[in-house]
Amino acid sequence: MEPEADRPNPYRPPQAGKAELTWKDEPLTFAESPQQRNAGPEGLGGWLIVIAFKLVVTVLTACGMLMTILRVFTDGSWTLITTPGTDAYHPLFGPLIVFEAVVNTVLVSASLALLVMFFRKAPSFPRWMIFMLVLGPVLTIIDFYWAAQIPSVGAVTDGDMKDLIQALAGACIWVPYLFVSKRVRNTFKARRVSPQRIEPTLEATAAGNANA
Per-residue pLDDT of 106-136, as tens digits, reads 999 999 999 999 999 999 999 999 999 999 9
Q: Residue 194: is its pLDDT beyond 90? A: no
Amino acid sitting at position 47:
W
How many CB atoms sit inside 10 A of residue 54's CB?
A: 16
Confidence label for 164 from pLDDT (cuts 50, 70 and 90): confident
pLDDT, tens digit, 9 for 90 and up, residues 46-76 = 899 999 999 999 999 999 999 999 898 888 8
Locate the domains of the chain by residue range: 48-187
pTM of the model: 0.68
- Among 57, 10, 41, 27, residue whose Cα is nearest residue 187: 41
Q: What angle do CA 98, 99, 101 make, to 5 degrees?
A: 65
* CA–CA gap between residue 38 and residue 18 (Å, rounded): 19
Are 109 and 63 spatial neighbours (Cβ–Cβ below 8 Å)? no
